[in-house]
Chains A and B, each alone.
Chain A
Amino acid sequence: MRSFTYERAKTPQQAAAAVAGTPGGKFIAGGTNLLDLMKLEIETPVHLVDVQDVGLDRIEPTEAGGLRIGALVSNTALSADARVMRDYAVLTRAIQAGASGQLRNKATTGGNLLQRTRCPYFYDTNMPCNKRDPGAGCAAKDGYSRQLGVIGISESCIATYPGDMAVALRVLDAVVETIDADGETRSIPIADFHSLWGDTPHIENVLADGEMITAVTLPRPLGGKHIYHKVRDRRSYAFALVSVAAVIQPDGTGRVAFGGMAPKPWRVAAAEAALPQGAAAVAARAFADAQPTDHNRYKISLAERTLAGVLAEARS
């Protein structure tokens, strides 16, 4: 870990200004991912702006009939909120499938969206990694890739977005709200928030330097059955091999997004439209362009089978 300076901002705009005004500055909220990465020198910020005093810790109804979740609402609080459990159960189930109780107590809504990949080569600074060191090459592509991405990846990087919460937010069509140093705000649909790697895998989302997440809003409830199925090698404290977030209506239509497959929660409109035809039809459309390795080819059939199980659960 490199030495760094530290300040605590009082308002979101002040925080944004502090980060924007300091080269090498970064926000810190729960720190459950950032601090680990700093200890390993994968992240080497020179200045941390702690946002824990800026508020943004409430879940409030919106005029549109949805919910506005402050960026600093903890994973634990969000997953246990009665309105979320009732109207957005896929979100509760996704969050509770992630990490551990202790980590969920510290992890925040905004920070969780920004958690970085768990590719083991990204975590070992002796290994070439385009995400850590642009232009260095990718050790994962021809290496141990069993848990890595199969679609939306590139020659530069085959890592996945590792989280669970965002996969549920993707089927809910959540919107990420931000503020910048000038006080300008914008709303970014979750679909557009995370970037595919392309040639720039070190760029993981569309946030500008110093732009801070202030909230995530959920549209009005969708109804339907909310299911999140996370498949992993052990029953807790493991990242998804594949996960499926789904909201299924009584007529068999619905929404579905996949985690563990791609640089972002993977939701394909044409695939989703095939939901009434079953899992195979959805998977064929969702993963038509997949480029798996020999190690992770299984993920495609696993995604299809997991969805089949989800659809069976929805019917039951």
Chain B
Amino acid sequence: MEYNAPAGKNLFDNAKVVGKPTRRIDGPLKTTGTAPYAYERHDVVPGQVYGYVLGAGIAKGRIAAMDVSAARAMPGVLAIVTAPDTKPVGKGMGNTAPLFGGRDIAHYHQAIALVVAETFEQARAASSVIRVEYERQKGAFDLASAAPGAPLDTTRGGEPDQVRTGDFEAAYHAAYVQLDERYTTPDESHAMMEPHASIAAWEGEKLTLWTSNQMIAWNKGSVGDILDMEPDNVRLDSPYLGGGFGGKLFVRADAVLAALGAKAAGRPVKVMLQRPLIYNNTTHRPASIQRLRIGAGKDGRISAIAHEGWSGNLPGGSGENTVQQTRQLYAGDHRLTANYLATLDLPEGNAMRAPGEASGHMALEVAMDELAEKLDMCPVELRIVNDTQTVPDEPEIKFSDRNLVRCLREGAERFGWANRNKTPGGLRDGRWLIGMGMAAGYRNGPVGKSAARVKLDRRGRVTVETDMTDIGTGSYTIIAQTAAEVMGVPLKQVTVRLGDSAYPASAGSGGQWGAASSTAGVYAACVNLRRAIGEKLGFDGDAATFDNSRIAVDGGSFALTDAGALSATGEMTYGDFQDDYSVGTFASHFCEIAVDAYTGESFIRRMLSVCDAGRILNPVSARSQVIGAMAMSVGATLTEELAVDKRFGFFVNHDMAGYEVPVHADIPHQEVVFLDTLDPVISPMKAKGVGELGICGPTAAVANALYNATGIRVREYPLTLDKYLDRLPAV
């Protein structure tokens, strides 16, 4: 089914199931510990043994020698796969750093050996007696020193990533007020609960990987490329993920080594990347340096805006597009946006929840706060006067449905913004300095082709099969809601099976496209099933009404079970009419913070996000997405930083104690409001994603609140107390 014109009124506008607050249908499995996550799939294949990964102890250089003789003699050891004895494996989609093989070391904790043993403990013990000699090479590990000479980023589409509209320099110099500031964001880790994990089993030429991966169809092909085998001989199965955040978009070393280890040992092998490897072996959100220059008139209207971003990556890796939201969020006739990319020898930078935009808002939305102060203008009003309904660099492109101003006004009203103290550092409550901050948020609303198979059985039960993944987001539930709605059955009559590459290819989970895309694909399959039912029973499936397990047709009705067992597949694809629109999601974010005037400790008091993301398919799981992203925003603003050791070239704090994500006590109160909006351009569902919108802006709201509380502006994230302690009032 091709979606080739904006949706008119359709069955989702009178929905009984879609859009209703619905508890996760997979909740009981999760709360009872019985959801089958990759590493615990003991039942899928007998004879599983354990792999333990050895990571490189240097950041750049070569393995001069590796002695595994002592390890081979250890109890329980079945096989050892070493990098020097393995031809470098290929690269899959999205891979930059070498996954395994050869003597060259491109980054710290690159996998260099896998020990396979009967037990995990035996594999671990044997890995520790492998002796490695390295030839170290010098590397570039400091973005700040590499940035000045960095060229424009050409990794998105091949062209230098610079967009100019009008004459920025002239307009900036002529502006009534000017702002010119630099901001830095650190490297960040996904630090998801479930580390990367895979079980591999070979049956002749055929490989099955029970794994934890966001993108099944992509990575079936990628495993083929990496291991130089036919993708048709690869099966991936990933029904549950304990978080991904972009870190599991691509194939990582766990899957590769499980496959190689299983081949070497002649047994199924399970590999979970050990927690200390997650930070340096896998991917991370790269650090950025960002410069904002904004010129505005006395009325706050932006006349000139420039946003330039610098990031670094391994040779061949892509850059972080920190300026993306600046191309969409505010009006202004004279514009310059550009991304520069330096070459570094740190671990691979790659996608992490709202790549580019999460970091970009941390600069842009603080700059807007600073601009508001220069103008002596309310930060909410400043954003309202600069709203636009067309893309500033491409005025012929209009936003499909943009309600940023409503988000801002409703957020301000609900949060009590009018009552805030406007003098930075001016509100004290005992030992606490109190502040409020806000920010706007933008994240694009992508959608992509997605397929599903829908089966009806003789008892009227509906089963959906698609390789879509549920990375904790609630895919199972919204897919069940969609099928229940279209097939006219109660939610409990629907079974959803996800994550198996044997199922029709979905859009997968990433870039906040999963919910909109996968449900549209399920809709397409259900329409085909309705047609098949109509064909069998002699009516037009498109004209019938499916409701309450019955089918009403012109002049009569059927029970759904009259159709017997039937199955249909369907795929939603998208016509190019969408190119005439910019499809985005919008939000306002608010935060109140308390800062200890003595110690500088900062404590969030409350947060609010008001989101405009089209139809909300399930307010329960959508809220869960947004509050999770708000919590992640607090971490990004206040604590999270992969600390770079610029001598040894690695992220030093590589465990859960050292890389500090927020704990529950850091997140006392969150409120999420979804505007009741519909986007007819994106899909028949009229729904857009929210999972990444939620990390686009709350960061800056926290930072602006900290400024409002203390009167101290810190532009280097994370905003830890050591960066402003000396500027707090004397005690």
Contact = CB atoms under 8 A, between A and B. Distances in A.
- Which label, helix, strand, loop or mixed, suits the secondary structure of the B interface? loop
Interface in B702-731: 720-722, 725-726, 728, 731
A36 to B, nearest CB: 9
Given A233-B720, A234-B662, A305-B731, A123 B655 contact: yes
A1 B121 contact: yes
Interface stretch (B569-577, B581-589, B599-607): B599-607
Contact of B598 (A41, A234, A306): A306
Interface in B647-670: 647-648, 652-655, 657-658, 660, 662-666
A121 B125 contact: no
A6 interface: no
Contacts of A105: none
A41 B128 contact: yes
Nearest to B132: A126
Contacts of B152: none
B725 A298 contact: yes
Contact of B652 (A143, A233, A241): A143
A118 B660 CA distance: 14
Interface stretch (B26-34, B90-98, B169-177, B637-645): B637-645
B639 A233 contact: yes
Nearest to A120: B652
B124 interface: yes
B693 to A, nearest CB: 25
A302 B600 contact: yes
Nearest to B635: A234
A303 to B, nearest CB: 10
A241 B720 CA distance: 11
A234 B666 contact: yes
B57 interface: yes
Interface string A126-149: 110000000000010011101000
Contacts of A118: 657-658
Interface in B32-78: 57-58, 75
B564 interface: no
B598 A233 contact: no
Interface in A113-170: 118, 120-121, 123-124, 126-127, 139, 142-144, 146
B426 interface: no
B151 interface: no
Contacts of B660: 233-234, 238
Interface string B662-683: 1111100000000000000000
B663 A235 contact: yes
B598 A309 contact: yes
Given A144-B643, A308-B598, A3 B725 contact: no
Contacts of A124: 276, 652, 654
A33 to B, nearest CB: 11
A146 B639 CA distance: 13
Nearest to B661: A234
Contacts of A302: 599-600, 721-722, 725
Contacts of A231: 599, 601, 721
B345 interface: no
A121 B648 CA distance: 11
Most chain B CB within a 10 A radius of its CB, from A3, A142, A235, A309? A235
Nearest to B598: A309
Contact of B647 (A2, A143, A279, A309): A143
A194 interface: no
A309 B728 CA distance: 13
A208 to B, nearest CB: 29
Interface in A223-260: 229, 231-239, 241
Nearest to A280: B731
Contacts of A123: 655, 658
Interface residues of A, number: 38
A301 interface: yes
A57 B707 CA distance: 50
B655 A309 contact: no
Nearest to A44: B128
Given A144-B652, A234-B666, A306 B599 contact: yes
A238 B601 CA distance: 13
A120 B653 CA distance: 6
Contact of A120 (B431, B647, B658, B726): B658
B592 interface: no
A39 B124 contact: yes
Given A229-B599, A231-B599, A298 B128 contact: no
A270 interface: no
B692 interface: no
A95 to B, nearest CB: 17
A46 interface: no
A312 B128 contact: no
Contacts of B654: 120, 124
Contacts of A229: 599
A3 B603 CA distance: 45
B7 to A, nearest CB: 45
Interface in B144-181: none
Contact of B57 (A3, A120, A121, A126): A126
Contacts of A234: 638-639, 660, 662-663, 665-666
A40 interface: yes
B716 to A, nearest CB: 13
Given A298-B722, A306-B598, A312-B598, A139 B658 contact: no
Contacts of B643: 120, 144, 146
A1 B52 CA distance: 12
A307 to B, nearest CB: 9
Contact of B596 (A39, A144, A241, A309): A309
A245 B375 CA distance: 46
B645 A143 contact: yes
A127 B128 CA distance: 15
Given A306-B598, A308-B598, A309-B731, A235 B722 contact: no
18 contacts: A41-B128, A118-B657, A118-B658, A120-B643, A120-B653, A121-B652, A124-B276, A126-B57, A127-B648, A139-B645, A144-B643, A234-B638, A234-B666, A236-B663, A238-B660, A302-B722, A305-B599, A305-B731
Interface of A: 1-3, 39-41, 118, 120-121, 123-124, 126-127, 139, 142-144, 146, 229, 231-239, 241, 279, 298, 301-302, 305-306, 308-309, 312
7 cross-chain pairs, A with B, having the tightest CB-CB distances, nearest first: A309-B598, A126-B57, A235-B665, A298-B722, A308-B731, A144-B652, A144-B643
Given A144-B643, A298-B725, 11 more contacts: A124-B276, A231-B599, A231-B601, A231-B721, A234-B665, A235-B666, A298-B726, A302-B600, A305-B599, A305-B731, A312-B598
